[in-house]
Chain A
Amino acid sequence: MAADTSIWQRIGFHRSFGVAEAGWGRTLAVAGVSFVYFLPVLFIIFTAIKPQALALSVPPTLSPTSLFGLIPDQFVFTPTLENFSSVFSRVMTGGGQPEPTGFDRFFFNSIVIASASVLLALVLGTLAAYGFSRYPLKGNDTYLFIILTTRMLPAIVVIIPVILMFRAVGLSGSYLGIILLYTAFNLAFTIWMMKSFFDELSTDVEDAARIDGSSGTRVFFRICLPQVVAGLAATFVFGLILTWNEFLFALLVTGPDTRTVPVAMNQAVSSGGRGTDWTLLAAIETLFLIPVFLVTFFLQEHLLRGVTFGTVRK
């Protein structure tokens, strides 16, 4: 990636030929639809920086700025960062001192658990996918189908025996337990995704490498893997988003030390008996968005490129 890529180019405003071919009318239409999609996210971010009292005000406050007088004053609120600090420490009982909430730990847990399980699934799944693609078994498609059936059952059906088994072997509440569980569930998706990327590659290229003197392992690492970098990035991002937001397994399998943010978020707003603190919830969600947002943003180049090669920008 060249250093002169500006932020505007990174988010898609290319000046190059072709990108704006659709013209202004269509671009505005798509921009409108995109805005509708983005609205919930925007609303949460705005709620996160609202004073707590304005969270449910009627009429709602819509903007932290009057946009040079464009928006009437009753819809404008004064932004605050107070909610973000109360994510990590706040007064728990009436009149007491602010106490740490443990959310630093929960964010750490979410990052470790999601990235470890997605990476583990990526390593195992990519190897398996290469095998399924290049050395098909008798009844290859049957095995692939069976692998996918693990994702066909509703999670709530699967989790009960898992809880019992985890208790029996002592995996409940441990990092290893939840990471293994997420890895197993990401694996099916990873194998299917990566197999389709490997299927796209020309086997002539691999044969050429064999004739050029490469062993099977080197063909995989030096020839195949570099060609599916885009696929790895896409699979990683989709897997990460699914795992990052997972609630049910985390609720039932993690313990107090290994709790992830979605579970903690639920407990933060439902405990205390003071009703739901919407601005606090929005602040947690806003912080929770940032890691996945960043990863997706930096891998976007790869995601968009897909598996077309040769025209790689340097």
Chain B
Amino acid sequence: MLAMASPDTRSIALSLRNVSKTYGRVEALHNLSFSVAEGRFFVLFGPSSVGKTTTLRMISGLVAPDRGRVEIFGRDWTNGTIAGRDVSMVFQSFALYPHLSVYKNLAYPLREAGVGREEIDRRVRETAAMLRLDTKLDRKPGTLSGGEQQRVALGRSLIRRPRILLLDEPLTNLDAKLRHDMRAELKRLHRQFGLTIVYATPDELEALSMGEEIAVLRNGGVVQTGTPDELYETPRDLYVAGKIGSPPMNMIKGTLARDGTVIESAIGPLPFARRLNTAEPGEAAVAGIRPSDIRLATGAERGVTASIAMLEPLGDITVISMETCGETLRLVLPEAAASGLERGQQASIVLDPGKLHVFRASNGQAIT
């Protein structure tokens, strides 16, 4: 009998299982698990010192885990050497060799691999052309701009054609304009080479715009893994809900009403469009609603009356902060809809019952 591979079961490039790592008394990673399919652009997302860099260093072999297992293309590399993993890494600090020219920086991994002089020359020039560094080959890294240094670091990682590329906050040290350009550049390179990429970032925008799959990290562990849409639509807990989406989700404290379809809160009853299975009536809960899921009430529609505390026009959209009954709610309106509004004005708003997220107040877990 022939086993039919479904189109989505690509081979697993990388898998970390229950990995832990302690530095002194600091537990950097705690039972961290995730796996990355081959060719995937995978993002490790979380604030600084959450364990992203440690995770990448573990994949590259620079550090070994205290417990758990690291597999690369099906082979156990938990305590393996650095060499032979076919993994390369771009450091947050770029980590270029300051005493070597751009040419020699790019050539370095090939020289260490014993590639012939002519082949090195060909590939250095090819890589330099691809990253628009051809005119900089004789320069030392210190004389290059941040963006150029970044491209040298990328080139040095790509030149030996690794199967997995690790990127540790590669855009953090660049200015905003350059960051935008490099995001596009990285996506292009990913498509062009079909590389498996593991990309660590504390920046939500980078995570959502680049990641095909995102692992949200907290305290050295993975809280939730999913596509950007999954994380946005069905955050597993308050942490993920608060991290994904900008402006962040509005959180309203309340109590689940007896029939399990309404939260009683300071701004009134908040109905939601589904029945919760795991809820207990009377339980303290937090209702979450995205700023884009709140709108102004139209005509005779009954809404919550609130006063406008602040308007932040951002071009085609406007972020409006509204206050009602001691709660501050933020909503996002198209610029046209917000044009008539002024600070201090009263308005009636409607929270979309179909888009309400409910979390248990005690542990922050989503109630489904």
Contact (A214, B141) CB under 8 Å given A204-B93, A205-B95, A226-B99: no
**From B91, B109, B112, B141, contact of A310 by CB (8 A):** B141
Stretch at the interface among B80-88, B338-346, B353-361: B80-88
How many residues of B are counted as interface, with CB atoms below 8 angstroms from the partner's CB atoms? Answer: 28
CB-nearest residue of chain A relative to B138? A314
The binding surface of chain A is classed by DSSP as helix
- Cα of A249 to Cα of B340 in the assembled complex, Å: 91
Contacts of A311 in B (CB 8 A): 140, 142-143
| Residue-wise interface mask of B (61-93) relative to A, using a CB-CB cutoff of 8 A (1 in contact, 0 not) | 110000000000000000000110001110111
Contact A204 B99 (CB under 8 A): no
Determine if A86 is an interface residue (Cβ-Cβ < 8 Å).
no
Interface 1/0s, chain A 280-314, versus B by CB < 8 A? 00000000000000000000000000000111100
In the complex, A6 has a CB within 8 A of chain B:
no
B314 within 8 A of A: no
A71 at the interface (CB under 8 A from B): no
Whose C-beta in chain B lies nearest to the C-beta of A228?
B99
A312 to B61, CA, bound (A): 33
Q: CA A208 – CA B156 in complex, angstroms?
A: 10
Q: Mark A197-237, 1 if CB is under 8 A from B, else 0.
A: 00000101101111111100010000100110100000000
- Name the residue among A208, A209, A227 with the largest chain B CB count within 10 angstroms: A208
**Does B120 count as interface, using CB distance less than 8 angstroms?**
no
Distance between A312 CB and nearest chain B CB, rounded to angstroms: 6
- Chain A: which residue is nearest B112 at the CB level? A213
CB of B113 within 8 Å of the partner chain:
yes
Q: In the complex the two chains form, what is the Cα distance from A172 to B96 in whole Å?
A: 50
Q: Is the CB of B108 within 8 A of A212?
A: yes
Complex CA gap A202/B156 in Å reads 17
Contacts A226-B99, A310-B142, A312-B140: A207 and B113 contacting too (C-beta < 8 A)?
Answer: no
21 A/B residue pairs, CB under 8 Å, sorted by A: A204-B91, A204-B93, A207-B57, A208-B95, A209-B112, A211-B89, A212-B156, A213-B109, A213-B113, A213-B160, A214-B112, A223-B97, A226-B99, A227-B99, A309-B98, A310-B140, A311-B140, A311-B142, A311-B143, A312-B99, A312-B142
Q: Which positions in B face A, CB cutoff 8 Å?
A: 57, 60-62, 82-83, 87-89, 91-93, 95-100, 108-109, 112-113, 140-143, 156, 160
Residues in A lying within 8 Å of B, measured CB to CB: 202, 204-205, 207-214, 218, 223, 226-227, 229, 309-312
